[in-house]
Structure 1
Amino acid sequence: MKLGEKFHPARLMRRFVPSTLTPLQADSTYGPPPETLGRIGSLEVRLARSQREVKLAQALRFNVFYKEMSAQANAALMLRRRDVDGFDAICDHLLVIDHDAEPQGAPAYRGRKGPAVVGTYRLLRQEVAERNGGFYTSGEFEIEGLIERKRPLRFMELGRSCVLKSYRNKRTVELLWSGIWSYVQHYEVDVMLGCASLEGCDVDRLALPLSFLQHNAAAPDEWRVRAVPSRRVPMDRMPAGEVDMRQALNQLPPLVKGYLRLGAYVGDGAVVDYQFGTTDVLVVLPVASINPRYFGHFGAPKERAPRPTH
C-alpha cells in the first residue's frame, strides 16, 4: 500500500487469501475473452493463464522498476525479487510473450519451461474493483467522484506497465495496445484511467513537462479529477508562454505521449511517489474521445447501446 493510500479491509485480506485467475477472466455477462488478443511474428499478446505467468510478469516489473529505474525495494521485495502488491490478485494481467526459443535478454522471465514474458500491463475493471475495495489509483487521485458522475459508464484502470528493455520498440507497444483494445471491446469498457509516471521526484526539474501537460492536456470540467489534497503538487509551474513545446514533448515518457495521441486528458495536480521514484499524473481516456485515425491499427469500436450519464 502506498503512503497516503486509503485503507480498505479487502485489500489487507488479499495478502493472505490465495487467488485464482478464473473469476477475473470469466464473466457471466460477457464470457471469457479470446485466448489470443493479437500476434506479430514470434510475439503474442494475451492474458495470463496461471499464477506462474503472473509471477513472471512480477519478475519483469521488478527488473524494470527496481533494478533499471529508481524504485526503492523493502526487504520482502528484495528477497522475493518480484514486484507484488495486493491488487495483483484481483487484476487481469496482460502479457506480451516471445515464443522464440532464445528471446533477447529474457531468460529470467520464462521460468523453467515455456516462452518468455517481455511486456505486461495490469487491468482492473470497475465491477471487480468495487467488489474488492476500489481502484489502486484512488490512493493518489479522487476518482470516486468522477465514477459516480459518469454512471453507468464502465471504467477500467490501467497500471504497472513495463516492457523489457530490448523489446522497447513500436512493434511491442502496438501489440500491447492491440491487446488492451481487444479487452476494452470485449468488456465494453467506456473509460480507461490510471496513473502515468514521469521519472524523478524533483518537481522543479520536471517543471517543463508538468507545465506542458497542465496547459495543453488538462481535462475539461466534466472529466476533471483532482489529486488527493494531502499529496497534490501543482503542475502549472511555468506560464504557458514560457513552455517550449518541442522540448517538453521530448521530456515526456513515450507512454504518456501515446496516451495523449489517443486523445487522453490529464487530471488536476500531480503526486510524488517516493517509493517508485516517480511523479505521477492521472490519465483519463474516454473511449469515445479516441482519435479515429487509430482505428486502422486496432479496429473501430463495436456498436453498442448508448448509456446515459448523470
Structure 2
Amino acid sequence: YRIFYDELGARSSLDQIDRRDSDRFDPLCDHLLVLDNSLTGPEHRRIVGTYRLLRQEMATAAGGFYSEDEFELRRLVARHPDLRFLELGRSCVLPQYRSKRTIEALWQGIWAYLNHYGIDVMVGCASFPGVDPAAHAEALTYMAHHCRTSADWDVRAVGRRYHPMAMMPVEAVNPKAAITAMPPLVKGYLRIGARIGDGCVIDRDFSTVDVFIVMPVKEIAARYISYYGGDGQSYAA
C-alpha cells in the first residue's frame, strides 16, 4: 500500500483506515518476502520487499489469472497444455532497499520456488509509471521491435484495452536511451531473458502503463540460472 498507493499514486477503493492492498487473489497466492532482521518491532514491519506468486492450479481455482483483465493469457496457457505457468505480481521494494542485493534475494527465492513446484513458464505484467504511453514512446518502441516474444509464446493485450507500443519510427530510436529509460524491473526481466507481448495497457487504478512479460524457464540465460540458483535452495523453506 505504501508503495503503490502512497508513493505511486494508485487509486484506492480500499478501506483507507486499514491501509492495505488486497484483492480476491491474495488467499490463493504464495507471498515471497524479503525481511531486514536488523529492524525492531513486529515481524511485518521488517518486510522490505515482496512478490506475489500465483501458480496455474491456484489460478484455475480463482477463475483465471490476475493479468487476464489486461492480456489474453488464457489463450497462451491453452497453447501449452503440458507446461506449468506461474504468474508474478505485486513486485515492490521499499525505496531505501532498492539495491542489487534485495533483487538478488527475491530472485533466489523465486528460483527455489520454480524448482520446488516444477514451474515451466513465468508470466506477468511489468509497469511503466503514469498513464500516458507516449511518455515512454522510445522505450516501448524499442521493446516492440527488439524484445517481442516468438510466435509460439505470443500474447496480446485484450482488444478493448490494447494500445500499440511502436509509437516512433524504429530508425529514430536510440537503443541506449531507450534501455536507460526503462524501469529497473523491466530491464532486469529483459536481462534474464524475458520477452514482451503485443501491446501495452493503461491501468488507471494503479497509474501505470503495463507490458506483458513471458519467461520460459528453459530459455533463461544459463549465467543467470547459475547465479541465482547457486544458493537458492537455502531460501526454499
Corresponding position: 1:144 with 2:74: yes
Corresponding position: 1:87 with 2:17: no
- CA positional deviation for 1:63: 0.4
- CA positional deviation for 1:79: 2.3
Corresponding position: 1:276 with 2:206: yes
**Paired residue secondary structure (2:131):** coil
How many Å separate the matches in 2 of 1:71 and 1:217? 28
Counterpart selection for 1:97 from 35, 50, 69: 35
Structure of greater Rg = 1
The residue that corresponds to 1:78 in the other structure is 16
- CA positional deviation for 1:77: 3.6
How many Å separate the matches in 2 of 1:118 and 1:83? 15
How many Å separate the matches in 2 of 1:114 and 1:268? 38
Q: Which runs of 4+ in 1 moved over 6 A?
A: none
CA offsets, 1:50-98, max 9 Å, x none?
Answer: xxxxxxxxxxxx0001111121123x34222111111111100000011
The residue that corresponds to 1:127 in the other structure is 57
**Paired residue secondary structure (1:78):** coil
Aligned residue type for 1:273: D
Q: How does 1:222-233 map to 2 (within 5 A)?
A: 222-233=152-163
- CA positional deviation for 1:146: 1.0
**Paired residue secondary structure (1:268):** coil
The residue that corresponds to 1:116 in the other structure is 46
Aligned residue type for 2:153: W
- CA positional deviation for 1:115: 6.2
**Paired residue secondary structure (1:93):** strand
Q: Is the 8 A contact 1:200 1:278 kept in 2?
A: yes
Corresponding position: 1:68 with 2:7: yes
Q: Is the 8 A contact 1:211 1:235 kept in 2?
A: yes
Greater relative CO (CA pairs within 8 A, separation 6+): 2
Q: Is the 8 A contact 1:77 1:84 kept in 2?
A: no
TM-score scaled by structure 2?
0.94
**Paired residue secondary structure (2:25):** helix
Corresponding position: 1:158 with 2:115: no
Aligned residue type for 1:288: K
Percent identical residues: 49
The residue that corresponds to 2:226 in the other structure is 296
Q: Is the 8 A contact 1:93 1:123 kept in 2?
A: yes
Q: Is the 8 A contact 2:48 2:93 kept in 1?
A: yes
The residue that corresponds to 2:129 in the other structure is 199
**Paired residue secondary structure (1:83):** coil
Counterpart selection for 1:189 from 119, 134, 143: 119
How many Å separate the matches in 2 of 1:101 and 1:77? 27
Q: Is the 8 A contact 2:39 2:46 kept in 1?
A: no
Across the aligned residues of Structure 1 and Structure 2, the Cα RMSD in angstroms comes to 1.3
The residue that corresponds to 1:35 in the other structure is none
| Pair 165,151 (structure 1): closer, same or farther in 2 beyond 3 Å | same
The residue that corresponds to 1:209 in the other structure is 139
How many Å separate the matches in 2 of 1:72 and 1:131? 27
CA offsets, 1:213-265, max 9 Å, x none?
Answer: 10110111000011000000000111211111111111101100111011111
How many Å separate the matches in 1 of 2:58 and 2:197? 23
- CA positional deviation for 1:205: 1.2
**Paired residue secondary structure (1:218):** coil
Structure with the larger helix share: 2
Segments of structure 1 that go 5 or more residues without pairing to the other structure are 1-61, 103-109, 301-310
Q: Is the 8 A contact 1:99 1:115 kept in 2?
A: no
Counterpart selection for 2:107 from 174, 177, 196: 177
How many Å separate the matches in 1 of 2:132 and 2:86? 30
